[in-house]
């Protein structure tokens, strides 16, 4: 994506940090066209082939995607699709043939192209260390409610808070 472009072109749906970047929560961003993982993985695998080698595994949060298969053949290669219920609903982890794994913040397919373009640019910034929620919310993309609740609970909150003296 051009630095001076605020809107995301249709073909620019993946961005990665440069190799010598700060580590952080994510290695880049992905803006799929739908919530059908089996339809989206082939294009993602092609785009990531150079940076991480042939994709062989995609770990995803099942609550964020439609029903999917456990594996598919993508460009003559087997790709495992592994649903992990405890995974952040805003990311996918993609592992390539050279055992390099990238964590991508997933921009919802229905996101506005200007906001999506901004998230793609920010997530792939060399020194970006923002969490997925900050990246999405910071550019006006609504967060998944179930992730906000589970994150609050995992950080010490409780869903059944008792009132003091009650």
pLDDT tens for the chain, 166 residues long, are: 333 334 444 458 999 999 888 789 999 999 999 999 999 999 999 999 989 999 999 999 999 998 889 999 998 999 999 999 999 999 999 999 878 999 999 999 999 999 999 999 999 999 999 999 999 999 999 887 554 444 444 445 444 433 334 3
Output phi, psi for 123, to 5 deg: -65, -30
Q: Phi/psi at 137 (nearest 5 deg)?
A: -65, -35
Report the pLDDT value the prediction gives residue 14, as an integer from 0 to 100.
97
The answer to whether the beta carbons of residues 37 and 60 sit under 8 Å apart is yes
Residue 59's DSSP bridge partners are 82, 93
CA terminus-to-terminus distance, the chain: 56
Describe the strand order of the beta sheet including 77-83 as a list of residue ranges. Answer: 14-16, 28-30, 101-106, 91-96, 55-60, 77-83, 71-74
Q: What is the pLDDT of residue 66?
A: 85
pLDDT for res 145? 58
Please check whether residue 119 is in contact with residue 14, taking contact to mean a CB–CB distance below 8 angstroms. no
The pLDDT value recorded for residue 34 is: 95
> 82: burial class by Cβ within 10 Å (0-12, 13-18, 19+)?
middle
pLDDT in the model for residue 68: 81
CA angle 86, 144, 84 (to 5 degrees): 20
């Amino acid at each position: 994506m051009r630095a001076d472009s605020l809107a995301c072109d249709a073909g620019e749906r993946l961005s990665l940090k440069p190799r010598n970047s700060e580590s952080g929560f994510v290695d880049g961003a992905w803006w799929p066209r739908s919530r059908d993982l089996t339809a989206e993985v082939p294009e993602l695998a092609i785009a990531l082939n150079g940076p991480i080698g042939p994709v062989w595994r995609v770990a995803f949060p099942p609550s964020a995607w439609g029903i999917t298969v456990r594996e598919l053949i993508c460009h003559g290669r087997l790709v495992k699709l592994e649903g992990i219920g405890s995974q952040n609903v805003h990311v996918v982890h993609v592992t390539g043939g050279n055992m390099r794994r990238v964590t991508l913040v997933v921009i919802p397919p229905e996101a506005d192209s200007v906001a999506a373009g901004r998230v793609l640019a920010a997530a792939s910034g060399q020194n970006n260390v923002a969490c997925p929620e900050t990246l999405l919310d910071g550019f006006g993309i609504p967060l998944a409610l179930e992730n906000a609740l589970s994150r609050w609970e995992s950080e010490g909150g409780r869903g059944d808070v008792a009132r003091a003296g009650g």
